[in-house]
Amino acid sequence: MAGRLTGKKALVTAAAQGIGEATARAFAAEGAEVVATDINEERLRGLEGVPGLTTRRLDVTRTDEVAAAAKEVGVVQVLFNCAGFVHQGSILECEEGDWDFSMDLNVKGMYRVIRAFLPAMLEAGGGSIVNMSSIASALRGVPGRFAYTTSKAAVLGLTKAVAADFVGRGIRCNAICPGTVDSPSLQERIGAAEDAEAARKAFIARQPMGRLGRPEEIAALVVYLASDESAFVSGTAVSIDGGWSI
């Protein structure tokens, strides 16, 4: 039986773990030909053997690597820009290097990837771009997430801009804004806290539903935005947050 992404080729960044991994798996399960990429080649190996999926190193902060990937992978119909990093602290804890790193990975990484892949997508008649933002963006100010929130708000602007420029040429571009999702990096942030149990409770308490999101729940939304079911949707920022933004 044909899946919702049968006949589509999809590139996923940051696919070695968390939401990116769950989405790469969900894309493949829906029949897409998936190129799952990450800088963590060791963890990427965990995806080898998934039918329809190949893995590839890709550091989205490296323009040369992104260009080489675009050349090698060629036309895709789906681009999921998932790579991002959480810097913790207010503006007073954010050195210029922290700012530059967050903006370079979380925002410029998407600029690099879209710029490299879009020409072939346009030539082939269009496709769907999904960008990873967050509730911590233009939607909510979150304490201790200065650089992160700034960068994820920029992702919403980038998404609108790309959507506006290419809406008449078959390209859709949407952003997703998850609340707190149980991923390896979230577990690291919890583990690094002075009181891990208190940190875990605080992360859960952000969602009125009283729990963390699961990567598979976010992946299901990305599948929808990647598929033709969402053919009338572009330029949106979709919240998926256990009610955080109610």
Only segment of 72-80, 87-95, 183-191, 192-200 that touches ligand NAD (CB under 6 A): 183-191
103-122 positions binding ligand NAD, by CB under 6 A? 105
Closest separation in Å from C-beta 19 to ligand NAD: 3
- Identify whether 148 is a catalytic site residue: yes
Number of residues that bind ligand NAD (CB under 6 A): 29
Give the residue, chosen from 11, 13, 35, 207, that forms a contact with ligand NAD under the rule CB under 6 A. 13
Beta bridge partners of 78: 10, 128
Q: Are 220 and 243 in contact (CB under 8 A)?
A: no
Position 84 contacts ligand NAD (CB under 6 A): yes
Position 73 contacts ligand NAD (CB under 6 A): no
Closest separation in Å from C-beta 81 to ligand NAD: 8
| Contact pattern from residue 16 through residue 55 relative to ligand NAD, giving x for each residue in contact according to CB under 6 A and a dash for the rest | xxxxx-----------------xxx---------------
Nearer to ligand NAD, 31 or 86 (CB): 86
DSSP per-residue string spanning the chain: ---TTTT-EEEESS-SSHHHHHHHHHHHHTT-EEEEEES-HHHHGGGTT-TTEEEEE--TT-HHHHHHHHHHH---SEEEE-------B-GGG--HHHHHHHHIIIIIHHHHHHHHHHHHHHHTT-EEEEEE--SBTTTB--TTBHHHHHHHHHHHHHHHHHHHHHGGGTEEEEEEEE--B--HHHHHHHHHSSSHHHHHHHHHHTSTTSS-B-HHHHHHHHHHHHSGGGTT--S-EEEESTTTT-
Give the residue, chosen from 23, 150, 159, 183, that forms a contact with ligand NAD under the rule CB under 6 A. 183
Position 150 contacts ligand NAD (CB under 6 A): no
Catalytic residue (choose from 80, 117, 148, 166): 148
Binding interface with ligand NAD (CB under 6 A) = 13-14, 16-20, 38-40, 58-61, 82-84, 86, 105, 132, 134, 178, 180-181, 183-186, 215
Catalytic residues: 148
